[in-house]
Amino acid sequence: MQLLKDRILKDGVVKPGNVLKVDSFLNHQMDIAFINELGKEFKARFASQPITKILTIEASGIGIACIAAQYFHVPVVFAKKAQSINLDGEMYTSKIESFTHKKVYDVIISKKFLTPEDHVLIIDDFLANGCALIGLIDIVNKSGAVLEGAGIVIEKGFQSGGQRIRDMGVHLESLAIIDHMTDSEVCFR
């Protein structure tokens, strides 16, 4: 998606450790008009799928998922990363490892909100090693819902997640795929 690539080139900042900071428009400060354009693009790429629910994971996926959901006219469910006293009853859980935070945590979704009748589109901001996405896919599979696909804003194509997800047969759409990056350059696939 050219608008996204242009914005990454303009406002993205590469940091040591293969970190791409897009916190001025995507995941700390959020440019809502721009994110609406991402939402429209996700709708265009999954227009023929009978999506009933958008699934994401806290925290930085939530805003993107909510804006995108307006084009699908479906609810959002966001997976939580830690047990809370507000989450009781039956829950689906999966363990995932965070690249950003360098720790393992449980990802949790109430069973009430994913059923075998659901057709699920997963949306998230980044795909790197794929652990978060694989955890969400695991939960969708446990619920009996149909996984219609996954929409990612930025895929780090030089990490293994995208290949792993595609090898699973998942319909994966990444709006920008970065093949490699240096301090001075971001190269897209």
Cβ-based nearer residue to a copy of itself, 142 or 168: 142
Using an 8 Å Cβ cutoff, are 76 and 110 in contact? Answer: no
Number of residues that bind a copy of itself (CB under 8 A): 44
* CA distance linking residue 82 with residue 6, whole number of Å: 36
Handedness of CA 34, 37, 41, 42 (dihedral sign): positive
Nearest to 99 by CA among 142, 138, 60, 66: 60
**Is cis: bond before 69, omega within 30 of 0?**
no
Site membership for a copy of itself, residue 78 (CB under 8 A): yes
Site membership for a copy of itself, residue 14 (CB under 8 A): no
Interface mask (CB under 8 A) for a copy of itself, residues 136-155, using x and -? --------------------
Interface mask (CB under 8 A) for a copy of itself, residues 87-126, using x and -? xx-----------xxx------xx-xx-------------
Cβ-based nearer residue to a copy of itself, 28 or 95: 28
Exactly one of 62, 146, 168, 177 binds a copy of itself (CB under 8 A); which one?
62
Exactly one of 9, 82, 104, 187 binds a copy of itself (CB under 8 A); which one?
82
Distances, alpha carbon 27 to alpha carbons 22, 31, 186, in Å: 7, 9, 18
Bridge partners, residue 93, by sequence: 108
- Burial status of residue 91 (CB atoms within 10 A of its CB: 0-12, 13-18, 19 or more): middle
User: In the complex, which residues of this chain contact a copy of itself (CB under 8 A)?
Assistant: 15, 17, 19, 21, 23-24, 27-33, 35-36, 58-59, 62-63, 65-67, 69-70, 73-78, 80, 82, 84-88, 100-102, 109-110, 112-113
